[in-house]
Amino acid sequence: MKKKLLALLMGTSLVLAACGGGDDEAKENTGDKETASVDAEQIYNEKGCVACHGGDLTGGVGPDLTAAGGHLSADEIKDVIVNGRGSMAAQNVSDEEANALADWLAAKK
């Protein structure tokens, strides 16, 4: 009985120890201020861009974005994201997210 209890306690300790922290890579420490790094592809998927532009950026309801940087600058892409264009509504993203998305798409030529 004592061995079973000891094994249970040790197992629980291991599980709890493994659950702590874990997102140290997702944050950068800049002095006293901690900021989360921005993953443009993750934002693209989470904010619903994928619904219109497709998981592979080839379009569907929305236009093909595989070569968006070939005809729009990062500033122009950000303007479309923030203000919308045509049937695309303005997107609810932070300035940091809009910049990350615009830079990511502008690199696609």
Residue numbering of the annotated binding site for heme c: 49, 52-53, 88
Query: Which alpha helices (H) appear in 1-109, and where do they start and end?
Result: 2-19, 40-46, 49-53, 74-83, 95-106
> Which residues make up each annotated binding site?
49, 52-53, 88
Give CA separation, 83 vs 35, 47, 61, 71, 97, in Å: 25, 15, 18, 18, 14
